[in-house]
Structure 1
């Protein structure tokens, strides 16, 4: 793996893992709301959020999914990997100030199709907040020489 190219399909094995951790800040939530246009008051209005089951503002679920994207695009498989699909189940809220740990684990390598299937999970401490699976396309050494 290099700065400009991640793992090639020939180098990826079942069980490989990579992770990233980020503490979600007020700035993250406000910027994500602005970029995405998702101004749901549960994310941006404390008085509204206090009336919800969460009792305070929560981060956008897709913000945490973005941390999974970070791992896939920069660590495993890394630069050059192309997202094909992602399914997610949102299991628990992420609050401002929570540290989200995103981890991906290789479940399957389909060398002939240059595809990798990865388990994707985000945790806050011991609580799973997102569970899912991604498929990415990865280059082959045979086609880059």
Structure 2
């Protein structure tokens, strides 16, 4: 895959059975960033103490993190730039945990004859071969060939500053004495 440019595959170039894949490993930073962007701060994703007692017995990634990998593959590889995501029907089969390496594969399932609409089979598999997500995605495929420079993404760091909580707590009694007098 070209790291500097994105080139689409037009509706006419797409063939039934054609496929593309990408893989990504879920990191704690991905969970934190997804929570910031989506507002989904469900303790199953954010609170290790809570998560130990829930159904998954530990922190799990947001289901839509896996779904967003499908969107990334559709928008950058197959069919690529100018693709419009119309519909999805996905099922989350197993939780994705920090350190899981997920391979998302899209396969052209159907092409409509009256419009440039394409349906893809979608599947995400972890490093153990477990299906974690599967379903269908329907897109309006590009009809014009384009090649564009890949966008430069900003460097983002997420800091949780929990390490300062002990210091803050240790000063709290002193601060109260200063202001109560």
TM score, norm. by length of structure 2: 0.75
Cα pair 1:41 1:49 within 8 Å, conserved = yes
1:127 and 1:120 map into 2 onto residues whose CA distance is 14
Matched, 1:138 2:138: no
Unaligned runs of 5+ in 1: none
- Of 88, 91, 111 in structure 1, the residue corresponding to residue 90 of structure 2 is 88
Q: How many angstroms does 1:55 deviate by?
A: 1.1
Distance 1:122 1:114 in 2: 25
Alignment correspondent of 1:120? 122
Q: Which residue pairs with 1:6 in the alignment?
A: 8
Distance 1:54 1:45 in 2: 13
Match of 2:112 among 110, 113, 116: 110
Match of 1:68 in 2: 70
The answer to whether the Cα contact below 8 Å between 1:49 and 1:55 also exists between their aligned partners in 2 is yes
Match of 2:17 in 1: 15
Q: 1:42 and 1:11 mapped to 2: Cα distance?
A: 43
More strand by share: 1
Structure 2 CA distance for aligned equivalents of residues 114 and 52 of structure 1: 44
* Matched residue SS, 2:109: strand
Q: CA deviation at 1:5?
A: 4.3
Aligned mates of 1:81, 1:29 — CA distance in 2: 26
2:79 aligned with 1:77, yes or no? yes
Paired residues in the alignment total: 141
Deviates more, 1:132-141 or 1:87-96: 132-141
Secondary structure class of the residue paired with 1:32: helix
Point out where structure 2 has 5 or more consecutive residues left out of the alignment.
Answer: 145-181
In 2, are the aligned partners of 1:9 and 1:111 still within 8 Å (CA)? no
1:15-34 to structure 2, matched below 5 A, reads: 15-34=17-36
- Kindly provide the CA deviation profile for residues 107-139 of structure 1, in whole angstroms up to 9, marking residues without a partner as x: 011142100100011111210011110000012
1:23, 1:99 within 8 Å by CA — same for their partners in 2?
yes
